[in-house]
Structure 1
Amino acid sequence: MNTRVSESVIIVGAGVIGLSLAWLLARAGRPVVVFDKAEAGQGASHAAAGMLAACTELEPGEEWLLSLNRRSQQLWPTFAAELESASGIAVDLREEGTLHVALNADEQGKLRHHLALQEKADLPVEWLSPAEVRAREPFLANATGAIWSPQDHQVDNRKLAAALRVAAPRAGAVVHEHTPVDKIVVADGRITGIEAGGAFHPASVVVLAAGAWSRSIGGLTQETRPPVRPVKGQMLALSMPADAPLLRHVVWAAGIYLVPRVDGRLIVGATAEERGFDGSITAGGVLSLLQNAWRALPGIEELPLIETWTGFRPGSRDDAPILGEGPVEGLVYATGHHRNGILQTPVTADIVSRLILEGARDPLAEPYAFGRFK
């Protein structure tokens, strides 16, 4: 058998998770082929807001995700710099931090409770007075206080996907767009490749990185099918003057987050709906987003509405990622990232690439193994 063929890795899914893994593997000299049913980077990677909000997004019962999320935050600056160098495309990693604001006494009480959870987890956050909030963001509505998360940053997820789409092939990866994988092929208890485009493609490793579509790939059995579902999110974008934006930090408020981009776009998101793959934009979804955004930032009523869209977060049964080996030799999982796909991109690529290249099993990934669902 051709040694290069026997070493080949096939990645199912060309979102930022699949492309970042392809980039690292190809850069290390491993033959890599990526397949996607649509255009690379145009699924959840395109729809996301790009927040790297490990501290702000902490919720009760999700403390076990912190170690993974915080490691990925630490990896992001180097990952972004190396990707920009490899692709020639800026990904706009912005490090202004995040404000989580309260707009009345009830919200302040809830936010103080959230602050206590964050402080118990020893996160780098602090409480800001109304005057301190105004000093940072003068166009916000009158806030009664806010949690300041100086290490929760943002990246332009669409530029990230574009940069990976350049960097991975430059490193040697082959990317097949508009080529759905019909079947993952298993023989004698191990992966032998995939069927796509009417042909068999051999590989020693197949990585399942198809996001919300991961469970629908042919050839998966009840034993190997990941419990991943689509969680619909409706979002919209407004246009701010790039030289005089209404907002400079990522801002969270009740029912909303606001993410300002370098080019003046203001990303407003997002709903969370268990609606399957229903991609419709609804009046209620847009109304809810605009009402909550206006309540936090009244000046948006003068801004042009330039885009609306939907995306499908890949939610696992416990809304945590599925990383590493499964019950079939050669099948590796990198899916189920739910709302943290952009944040967890560097750590996922690092953990899974080292597993494939070196057989290294990072203890950090153990809680997120496929076997936890059995």
Structure 2
Amino acid sequence: MATSTTGHAIVIGGGIIGLATCFEFQDAGFEVTLIDPDPISGATHHAGGMLAPTAEVQYQQQALVPLMKESARLYPDLIQRVTQHTDLPTGYRTDGTVLIGADRADAQHLSELIDYIKAEDLDIETLTTRQARQLEPALSPRIAKAAAIDGDHQLDPRLFARALFDAVLARGAQHVRETVSTITQSTTHQSVTLSSGARIEVDSSDVTVLAAGLGAAKITGWFDGEHPLQLRPVYGDVLRVRVPESLQPLTTRVIRGFVEDRPIYVIPRDDGTVTIGATSREDQPHPRTSAIHDLLRDAIRVVPGLEETEFLEATCGARPGTPDDLPYLGQVRDNLIVSTGYFRHGILLAALGARTAVQLATGQQTSQAVASCDPFRHATSTLNV
């Protein structure tokens, strides 16, 4: 992305959304200030990292499909540009995904999902279980159904976020290690107040991007009445294991599917580790023993060799959910853009969210699909002027 526009962009939030936004503003010729006390420590740290618009399709969430497809299309170029400014790895892989159903009921679930995916004009290939095991010999011989998605890619969120952060700093971004308490907005002036009480004045020609994930719900001052961003934490457990050298690579593709109707994913990494996940709940912000047990049991049911791996880590991340599971992405003032609420699609949608923020700030046309992400669609009050 290249324009002749220059200015100053203040990006609040140092997860993958905020970091990608910083990078895109720099590519557009802006000076950038990133405000975050501890970048890459929130939802990004606990994410799976699947760039999978096909496998991520959910029933009755058609508005998400064009967003996911567009962002996945943007990712290869974003990654290529980032690697021009850092030597750090991204963990980007294009091996694809294998979907499986563990038993007969899961096979029926998968069959219905395949039909739904095809109806959304997405590519998926039904496989026999023998074909699936030829692609991935470590798959259990007991699986009941399988399909392949070659267009679904992945990256390692922690690695890519660090690469983004390194690239952004190398290009001269200022990093302010604080939180933001308020954004004071009037028709002619804006100021960002930090937790220390210090203020950053924003000129009318500059832009502020509120990309603080769940933290965006705590930042006030730019609206009347109740907070317009109805964000809620949705927790997900993520496990990491290390594959013995004698078994590497255990799989090359991402393995996703259903075991007794429970979703599971198994993600191979370049460093010989595997990430396991797929839980989702709203009641406990810590790794739950029962969830860890279920994930390990189901992952081993699908890929039995995981039983031989070294257990490394169990973490639990809070993803910013919205009432309709669509992000809040849009311009709420001439120099204030909201980009948060990406729920479980934050990694995948980061490329689109970052590009859209620059397009909004520079008066360019955005994707029609972004119209469904209006930050004020759940608001009960008007903007504070």
How far has the Cα of 1:188 moved from its partner? 4.2
State the secondary structure of the residue aligned to 2:30.
coil
Counterpart in 2 of 1:27? 27
2:371 corresponds to 1:363: no
| Equivalent runs, 1:210-359 vs 2, <5 Å | 210-221=212-223, 222=225, 225-241=228-244, 244-254=248-258, 255-275=263-283, 278-326=284-332, 328-359=333-364
Asked if 1 retains the 8 angstrom alpha-carbon contact of 2:179 and 2:194, the reply is no
User: Aligned partner of 2:282: which letter?
Assistant: E
Q: Residue by residue, what CA displacement relative to the aligned partner does 1:180-210 show, whole Å, maximum 9, x if unpaired?
A: 1122122347633333432110124221111
SS in 2 for 1:288: helix
**Contact residue 191 and residue 205 of structure 1 kept, 8 A:** no
Identity of aligned residues (%): 30
- TM-superposed CA distance for 1:59, in Å, is 1.3
In the other structure, the counterpart of 2:208 is: 206
- The match for 2:166 is 166
Q: Structure 1, unaligned stretches of length 5 or more?
A: 1-5
Question: Cα deviations across residues 36-63 of structure 1 (Å, max 9, x unaligned)?
Answer: 13x2112111110110111011111112
Q: Is contact 2:220–2:227 with CA below 8 Å preserved after alignment?
A: no
- Map of 2:84 onto structure 1: 85
Counterpart for residue 147 of structure 1:
147
Aligned to 2:382: none
Question: What is the CA distance between 1:362 and its match in structure 2?
Answer: 3.6
Aligned counterpart, 1:3: none
Bigger shift: 192-201 or 20-29?
A: 192-201
Answer whether contact 1:213 1:230 (CA < 8 A) is retained: no
Task: Report the equivalent of 1:104.
Answer: 103
User: What is the distance in 2 between the residues matched to 1:242 and 1:320?
Assistant: 41
Measure how far apart 1:372 and its partner are: 2.4
Instruction: Give the residue type in structure 1 aligned to 2:349.
Output: Q
User: Superposition RMSD on alpha carbons, in Å?
Assistant: 1.9
Given that 1:242 and 1:263 are in contact with CA atoms closer than 8 Å, whether structure 2 keeps it comes out as no
**TM-score (norm: length of structure 1):** 0.92
* Distance apart, 1:245 and its partner CA: 2.1
In the comparison of the two structures, how many residue pairs are matched?
Answer: 364
- For the 8 Å contact 1:72–1:344, the answer to whether it is kept is yes
Provide the residue aligned with 1:180 in structure 2.
179
Distance 1:259 1:113 in 2: 24
1:94 positional shift: 0.6
Identify the range of structure 1 (127-136 vs 328-337) with the bigger mean alpha-carbon deviation: 328-337
Letter aligned with residue 216 of structure 2: S
